[in-house]
Amino acid sequence: MKISCIIVEDIQIAADFLRKFCEKSDLVEVKGHFMNVADALEFLDREKVDLLFLDVEMPGANGFDLLDRLTYSPKIILTTSKTEYAFNAFQYHVDDYLKKPFTYKRFMEAIEKLRQQQAAEISPTTTFASVPQPDSDFLFIKAEDKLIKLNKDDILFLESMRDYVKFVTAGKSYITYSTLKNMEEKLIGQTFLKVHRSYIVNINKIDDIRGNTIYVLGNQIPIGKGHKEDLATRLNIL
Amino acid sequence: MQKIRPAFVFDENLNASFLEELFEGDTIYAETVFEDFLKDLPVYWARVENAYNSKNLPTLGTSVHTCKTLFGYVGFTDLQELCQQFEDKCSVNNAEELRVDYILLIQRKEKAQHIIEKEYTRLRIFNGEKD
């Protein structure tokens, strides 16, 4: 199955190259090209895609603003001619970084890497090692070379670490090989809520919220712009 | 006997090895890109001029950044570096301090535009002969 994508890019030549590379690969289907963040977000509100090719510097809002507003987690490949964004890219857990102009060879390296990640995510040997019963109070995660039982109620929050997810409890953190997307499907419900591209939080554990930050037992969790509304409706605000 | 046609050789001012890798011998597409460059550059450069004249340095930096990307697609990797330096200076210098660099940038941009105009013509002739 082809990877569906959109291109968010304000330079037409760059977008044309990308589209051409996608077509040539026969692995990636371009669902649309948008010259700015607002138009891309409008599309993404209606339709989900597997991958975003995202320019950083665009008129108005930039690529990181789009990531802040996203309410789900497609794969992200940043396309920019500035290397200074590497740190931000790391913070936002982008999947790859293509420095413009890039060749077809470099493009294919990025796509192959994504395909390998996708294969790992759906492979039964590498997926989240729990036996998730939607209504059960616990789950098992594969960490520290064993299966560890975690009571859902003990989990404060989950943090994405690229191909790994960190489960944070009051006393200890556990890192397991999986993705936040997998966790979303297994945990989101009554008590767990995705509040940022990289964080899922246990609502029962929130101490307070100040501005765009959630405080959970001394930990600070950012609230993504696109998740604010969801969070507000889920909180019991008097 | 079929005549073997020599490959297109890009101007020595351009990063030819990069362009060969980028276009992979597709001179038709190279012609399209060079044509688009000549169409787009004046539009983007007008933003640079407006920003400089109005001393709007953040916009000036962003506009030069866009031109820098554009230069890369036609093989002006050295000019990309100059743009990057100018872009960096936009965040620390004032318009007056940037004057000399700005004049240099204009000169280099005009030279680049001229080279691409010639390359575009050469590509058109080359591709025309192919038909």
State yes or no: pLDDT of B9 exceeds 70: yes
Per-residue pLDDT at A127 exceeds 60: no
Give yes or no: residues A144 and A187 share one domain: yes
Assess if residue A214 is contained within a domain.
yes
For position A132, what pLDDT does the model report?
47
Contact state of A20 with B29 under an 8 Å Cβ cutoff: yes
Number of domains chain A contains: 2
The angle subtended at Cα B63 by Cα B60 and Cα B66, nearest 5°, is 150
A11 to B36: CB separation less than 8 angstroms, yes or no: no
Within-domain flag for A131: no
Examine residue A71 and state whether it is found in any structural domain, yes or no: yes
CATH number of domain containing A177: 2.40.50.1020
Same domain, A16 and A77: yes
Is residue A193, in this structure, part of any structural domain at all?
yes
Identify whether residues A213 and A162 lie together within a single domain: yes
Asked whether residue A28 falls in the same domain as residue A112, the answer is yes
* In a shared domain, residues A161 and A92: no
Q: Are A21 and A105 members of one domain?
A: yes
Residue B2 lies in a domain: no
Return the CATH number at A100: 3.40.50.2300
Number of structural domains chain B divides into:
1
Cβ contact A101–B69 (<8 Å): yes
Facing B69 at nearest CB: one of A16, A20, A81: A81
The Cα–Cα gap between A96 and A78 comes to: 6
Q: Is the pLDDT of residue A213 over 50?
A: yes
A81 to B70: CB separation less than 8 angstroms, yes or no:
no
Residue for token pair 């192919």:
B130
Decide if B120 touches A, using CB distance below 8 A.
no
pLDDT averaged over every residue in chain A: 85
Task: Quote the percentage of chain A above a pLDDT of 90.
Answer: 44
Domain span at A113: 3-122
Assess if residue A133 is contained within a domain: no
pLDDT number for residue B3: 62
**Domain range for residue B92?**
19-130
The whole-number pLDDT of residue A179 equals: 82
B59-98, pLDDT tens digit by residue?
Answer: 999 999 999 999 999 999 889 999 999 999 998 988 889 9
Tell me the pLDDT band of A128, cut-offs 50, 70 and 90: very low
The reply to whether residue B36 touches residue A82, judged by beta carbons under 8 angstroms, is: no
A28 and A116 co-located in one domain: yes
Q: Does B29 touch chain A (CB under 8 A)?
A: yes
Q: Do A100 and B69 touch (CB under 8 A)?
A: yes
Could you tell me which chain B residue has the CA closest to the CA of A107?
A: B22
pLDDT bin (cut points 50, 70, 90) of residue A125 is very low
* Rounded Cα–Cα distance for residues A130 and A147 (Å): 8
B83 versus A228: the higher-pLDDT residue is B83
Same domain, A116 and A181: no
The domain that holds B86 is classified in CATH as 1.20.120
A44 and A144 part of one domain? no
Chain A residues contacting B, CB < 8 Å? 10-14, 16-17, 20, 57, 59, 81-82, 100-101, 103-105
pLDDT band for position B30 (cuts 50, 70, 90): very high
Tell me, letter by letter, the H, E, C secondary structure of B44-79: HHHHHHHHHHCCCHHHHHHHHHHHHHHHHHCCCHHH
Q: Is residue A132 part of a domain?
A: no
pLDDT of residue A130: 44
> Considering the domain boundaries, does residue A127 fall inside one?
no
Q: Which residues of A touch B62 (CB under 8 A)?
A: 57, 59
Helix (H, G, I), strand (E, B) or coil at A237: coil
**pLDDT, greater one: B110 or A64:** B110
Residues A230 and A154 in one domain: yes
The minimal CB distance from A11 to the residues B29, B62, B66 is found for B66
Amino acid making up residue A238? L
> Do A145 and A229 belong to one domain?
yes
Q: Is residue A89 predicted with pLDDT exceeding 80? A: no
Q: What is the ipTM of this complex?
A: 0.89
- Residues B31-50 pLDDT 10s: 999 999 999 999 999 999 99
- DSSP H helical segments within B1-131, as ranges? 16-23, 27-53, 57-73, 77-90, 99-130
> Is residue A73 domain-shared with residue A149, that is, in the same domain?
no
Query: Which residues of chain A does B21 touch, with a Cβ-Cβ cutoff of 8 Å?
Result: 103, 105
